[in-house]
Structure 1
Amino acid sequence: MPEAVGRTDPQRRARFLDAYVQSLIDRDVRQLSEIQRKGELRRLVRLLAARNGTLIAAGSLESELGLSRPTIARYLQALEEIFLVKRIPGWSRNLGTRATATPKLFFVDSGIAAQEVGTDARSLLRPAGQFGPLLESFVLSELARQLTWSRHQAELSHYRDRDRYEVDAILESRQGQIVAIEVKAASTVGTDDFRALRRLADRLDDDFIAGIVLYTGTTTLPFGPKLRAMPVSSLWEVASVRRSP
């Protein structure tokens, strides 16, 4: 968010992000939905930030919020309509199964998610911190944005099978071709990071176009047919192509 990035003082940036979220709740959400108790909605936003990048079902939030499932579902829909959060469905070849699969939720702006859970640059470096979920959220949001102007039409979803093999992002064309993307918050990548991608490649055969692990390193590395590790920065950087004179 440019307004937040432009505030170099951390306290001013934090105040801006808090005020921005509160403004969304006070103004935009109330225009879209009959929200009576704003405090409950504010608690929901913080709870969702703590679960950023995970599978979210309205029923799983009932006990923590003390709200009914229909109310939570209505709140989630309102937050999605004002582009604070986004949900992506679970991928399946069966469209009926896909429609009923538990969606994964992420914050459209990872800076807001970081503010909601009280994360700063120092705490991102701590083991078991929020860096992984925030990086995944950033990548998913970037993919969703780029799909709006891409020449290739594709749907964004996530993958998880009964054996708990998971892939963070699935890009599927209308012809059924798949690019699968994993996000790793580390500067090194190993063969184990491609386990779920290999499983999906075996299942899809020729429809599997590429499997990519995005990581925080700086080099693109091959890990077998159709498998690559690539820097996260490849999402916005275009490699220069040297042409022969």
Structure 2
Amino acid sequence: MRRATDYRPRRASDLVAEALLDTRVVVINGARQVGKSTLAELVVRQHPNGTTRFLDHPLTRSAAVEDPIRFIDHDGLMLIDEVQRVPDLWLAIKYLVDRDPRPGRFLLTGSARLLSLSSLPDSLPGRSETIELWPLSQGEIDDEPDGFVDAAFTHGADLRAESRDLRRKDYLTRVERGGFPEAVQRETPRRRQRFFQSYIDDLISRDIKQVADIQRAGDMRRLISLLAAQTGGLLSANRLAGELGIVRSTVQRYLEILETIYLIRLIPGWSTNATTRALATPKVTFVDTGLAAHLTAGPLADLSVGGLMENFVLGEIARQLSWSDIGASIYHYRDRDKHEVDGIIEDNSGRVIGIEVKAAETVRSEDFKGLRLLRNRLGTRFLAGFVLYCGSQSLSFGDGLTCLPISALWTTPRP
């Protein structure tokens, strides 16, 4: 566990605490090394009579395999770390909480989307709540409010941001650093590169083997590199299959595995009756931009900067959606006429915020082309369109359209 002086408070901690008040089983899911165990341990320490079980210890894991019911028999809150290592525990937990439905019985962590694993014998419908923990947001790193999403739906295009002394090079530094706590803690790019290399090696040799039988690890490694080179671009399984020399069905299976272990995130295409020519093809993003940047060769080239900056912005928005008071989802938009918008945030009532990302320090009127198209087609459903860029000014570009510095994502207070 990290030293207390190194720990950065996580916004997910409040979500976990709230869930334990009324839910029997709470699951913290996320990539390896995002801080799941640290967060879970801190939560358990706040509960009297709490206990922990770490399944990465061979003796502990053996005990869980031999006698699952006795292993989990405890009166208070029990943390089981890396629960996917012993699938039979799932049924044992279900057995106990069905007979004793008190809330706050179990806190589970896993480095994969647990309910999608074929090795698990059953799910826990109505008994569990899953909270996804992502790499650190910029607000968690800098102790800023991370309030852009809520503020955008509250203020619309009237939203303005404080000017911060950040230039393009400063944003690129953040992109390359990423949000893994261990990488953020390391002081030099060279030390971070060592972390990222070890991370990829462990991912392929350990995590992937936990969720699937991969015979040709070299194909998986090459696929990961190809995805990093096209981050922010549309996914084409056919093209990837051609470049790798393997069949399309294998590529699709590999992509599902990479989503399951939280390496990549696919942003679905968005459409509505007003945009009937929209494409359903998803967009590829990495859960951590530092890892994606590491997988591109050498310093960031101009061709990769735009995609990584877009990945960075969409990733920050996705993190905020996990704790936002606004029930919303993130998409991207592209149609057959090649009109596109980098990000679409749609709330449960159908209101839409459009996001364009520019890895430049200036903004031009044509940068709002896709946003204007959406505004004109959606009418009152279109709440605002923002171009987020590497400059410092907040300016109006017409009805419902505004440019903001990218830092507005984490410096904007929540309403």
The question of a shared fold, defined as TM-score above 0.5 by the shorter chain, is answered with yes
Q: How far apart are residue 155 of structure 1 and its match?
A: 1.3
Unpaired runs of 5+ residues, structure 1, are none
State the alpha-carbon separation in 1 of the partners of residues 189 and 195 from structure 2: 10
Distance 2:243 2:222 in 1: 10
3-state SS of paired residue (2:290): helix
Is 1:71 the counterpart of 2:245? The answer is no
- In structure 1, what is the equivalent of residue 199 of structure 2? 20
- Is the 2:396–2:402 Cα contact (8 Å) retained in structure 1? yes
Residue type of the partner of 1:75?
Y
Match status 1:214 vs 2:388 = yes
1:207 partner amino acid: R
Counterpart residue type for residue 132 of structure 1: G
Counterpart CA distance in 1 for 2:295 and 2:250 is 22
| CA offsets 1:10-62 (integer angstroms, 9 cap, x no match) | 32221110110121121111111121111110110001000110001211211
Larger Rg: 2
The 5 A counterparts of 1:47-66 are 47-66=226-245
Structure 2 residue 184 is the aligned partner of structure 1 residue 10: no
Q: Which amino acid aligns with 2:233?
A: T
Q: Output the CA distance in 2 between the equivalents of 1:83 and 1:205.
A: 36
Runs (4 or more) in structure 1 with deviation over 6 Å come to 97-100
Contact 1:186 1:217 in 2 (8 A): yes
Q: Which is further off, 83-92 or 29-38?
A: 29-38
Out of 227, 231, 242, which is 2:405 matched to? 231
Q: Is the 8 A contact 1:189 1:215 kept in 2?
A: yes
In 1, Cα distance between equivalents of 2:277 and 2:367: 25
Shift of 1:173: 1.1
Q: Which of these residues, 43, 54, 73, is aligned with residue 222 of structure 2?
A: 43
Letter of the 1:180 counterpart? G
1:130 match: secondary structure: helix
The CA deviation at 1:152 is 0.4
Q: How far apart, in 2, do the equivalents of 1:188 and 1:99 lie? A: 29
Post-superposition Cα deviations, 1:177-209, rounded to whole Å, max 9, x if no partner, equal: 100000000011011100110011000000000
Distance 2:414 2:374 in 1: 31
What is the aligned partner in structure 2 of residue 205 from structure 1?
379
Percentage of pairs with the same residue: 51
Query: C-alpha distance in 2, partners of 1:90/1:17?
Result: 30
Q: Give the match's secondary structure for 1:157.
A: strand
Q: Give the structure, 1 or 2, with the largest relative contact order (CA under 8 Å, sep 6 or more).
A: 2
8 Å contact from structure 1 (residues 29, 82) kept in 2: yes
TM-score by length of 1: 0.90
